[in-house]
């Protein structure tokens, strides 16, 4: 059985939430389980947008970030989970404008990698 990976583009990735590009090139891989993201807030037609806040478990499987919980980072690209689990990279440090993320996000109380991010608007 051959494995033929494919790459599909969903148009231009909206990264307007980035204050700087710092950390984007140093992403860490994770898996977005279809069951966890298919009907999550901010996900339309199975498309998880770039900048989606995630919590990644030790096994590499991500879940949508829950307010006040552990933040691992933000998805770097958009990915469609309608056909099943998908692999993607996430940004684990950098500078983010929370007002421009694809979902409501309040960094107050977030733990984990939250301390590795600057949260604020572009100057």
Cβ proximity of 36 and 64 under 8 Å: yes
Give the C-alpha separation, 16 to 100, whole Å: 7
Predicted local distance difference test score (pLDDT) of residue 15: 92
Predicted local distance difference test score (pLDDT) of residue 11: 60
User: Which pLDDT tens digit goes with each residue over 52-100?
Assistant: 999 999 999 999 999 999 999 999 999 999 999 999 999 999 999 999 9
Cβ proximity of 123 and 97 under 8 Å: no
* pTM (2 d.p.): 0.89
User: Which pLDDT tens digit goes with each residue over 99-122?
Assistant: 999 999 999 989 999 999 999 998
The per-residue DSSP string of the chain comes to: ----------SS---TTBSS-TTGGG-EEEEE-HHHHTTSTT-BTTEE-TT-EEEE-TTSBEEE--TTSEE-EEESS-EE-TTS-EEEEEE-SEEE-GGGSSS----TT-EEGGGGEEES---
- Per-residue pLDDT band for 10 (boundaries 50, 70, 90) equals low
Give the C-alpha separation, 34 to 54, whole Å: 14
Beta bridge partners of 48: 79
**Domains along the sequence of the chain with CATH:** 24-104 (2.40.300)
Is the pLDDT at 2 greater than 60, yes or no?
no
- Per-residue pLDDT band for 1 (boundaries 50, 70, 90) equals very low
Place of tokens 């307007």: 16
């Amino acid at each position: 059985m051959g494995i033929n990976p494919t790459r599909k583009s969903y148009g231009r990735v909206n990264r307007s939430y980035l204050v700087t590009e710092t950390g984007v090139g140093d992403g860490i891989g994770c898996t977005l389980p279809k069951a966890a993201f298919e009907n999550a807030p901010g996900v339309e037609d199975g498309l998880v947008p770039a900048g989606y806040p995630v919590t990644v478990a030790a096994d590499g499987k991500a879940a949508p970030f829950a307010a006040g919980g552990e933040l691992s980072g933000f998805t770097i690209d958009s990915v469609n989970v309608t056909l099943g689990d998908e692999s993607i990279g996430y940004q684990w440090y950098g500078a983010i404008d929370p007002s421009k993320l694809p979902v409501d996000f309040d960094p107050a109380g977030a733990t984990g990698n939250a301390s590795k991010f600057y949260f604020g608007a572009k100057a």
